[in-house]
Amino acid sequence: MTPDAADPTVSALTERELLAAILTRLGPGRALVGAGDDAAVLAAPGERIVASVDTLVEGPDFRLAWSSGFDLGWKSAAVNLADIAAMGASPTALLVALTLPPQTRLSFVLAIADGLRGACAALAPECAVEGGDLTVSRTLTVAVTALGTLAASAPVVRSGARAGDVLALCGDAGIAARGLAILFDRWADADGTARPTAGLDELDAAERHAVSRQLRPHPPIAAGVVAARSGATAMMDVSDGLALDASRLAAASGVTVDIDSALLGGDEFALAGGEDHALLAAFPPTAALPDGFRAIGAVVPAAEGPVRVDGVVFSGRGGWDPYRSEPAAG
């Protein structure tokens, strides 16, 4: 068997053949009616569905020189699972739309499926890919719709923080951004063109960990429900940088947040770096912070600047905005 026969491009397959190969890798779903019909049918015990969608596009969101198919599948799942967790909900299903260049190898597509399945198994075991769509384009794109359910608790929204609340974080802060900086420093040309890493053996353990967290983030998905049950007044996923996302929470709630830099460990990437997908939450001052959450500051009455650091209006680099930033994602 020739290599092309063993690993054809997607242009050599019918949609049905490609879909069948992907579904084999994803494994069984948990829907009442799963992939293969016009739509999935999901059980909703609480009768309240939480839904979110996120798109990863080659170039601004990932570089194929750095990301394997498994990395891409994992990250596509993780960033969407985090949005559901940030509402205090439990993820139940993902719907995945793949836009594939014709020259894409089947093995790469199956690796994406393996990454999707691996992330669900590790981060949200009750969640699975239950359907999606396939199409063709010159730009590789993965668009994921995530669905979740709310049980007994109300959704935790961004607008509920009140002056006097404790500002807390669960998950990494700045590690993924440090990993991205390492990738650009070691394996990118002056114009930002990514070069293949050819392995990470030249990095020390801390650097390898940072790069791995950039390519395969580990958001604390289960902590979202725990935070809701512990009385969180507001919560959101930190995807674009702690300072930028904290400003969004502050604006929605009509307050200012004051971050204590010492509680962040003095990490230069912690305030501006994104893609860790940690959970940022506010809790009443009398509430005990749930396991995994650590205090990083306080919610104070609205004042000049939505975000302050050690009492001073934050004016540093604000994080990732796709309409204001240069393409720089991993």
pLDDT value, residue 216: 97
> Is 83 labelled a binding residue?
yes
pLDDT tens profile 82-115: 999 999 999 999 999 999 999 999 999 999 999 9
More confident residue, 58 or 318: 58
Domain covering 158-313 in this structure, CATH number = 3.90.650.10
> Is 15 labelled a binding residue?
no
pLDDT value, residue 268: 78
Mean pLDDT of 195-210: 90
Q: pLDDT grade, residue 37 (50/70/90)? A: low
> Is 239 labelled a binding residue?
yes
pLDDT tens profile 309-324: 999 999 866 665 543 4
Which amino acid does the sequence have at 140? L
Strand ordering across the sheet containing 293-301: 234-238, 278-283, 166-170, 293-301, 255-259, 307-309, 312-313
> Is 132 labelled a binding residue?
yes
pTM higher than the cut 0.85: yes
Question: What are the residue ranges spanned by the domains of the chain?
Answer: 3-149, 158-313
> Is 38 labelled a binding residue?
yes
Q: Which CATH superfamily is domain 3-149 in?
A: PurM-like, N-terminal domain (3.30.1330.10)
> Is 133 labelled a binding residue?
yes
CA distance 138 to 101: 5
C-beta neighbour count of 13 within 10 angstroms: 16
pLDDT value, residue 152: 62
> Is 52 labelled a binding residue?
yes
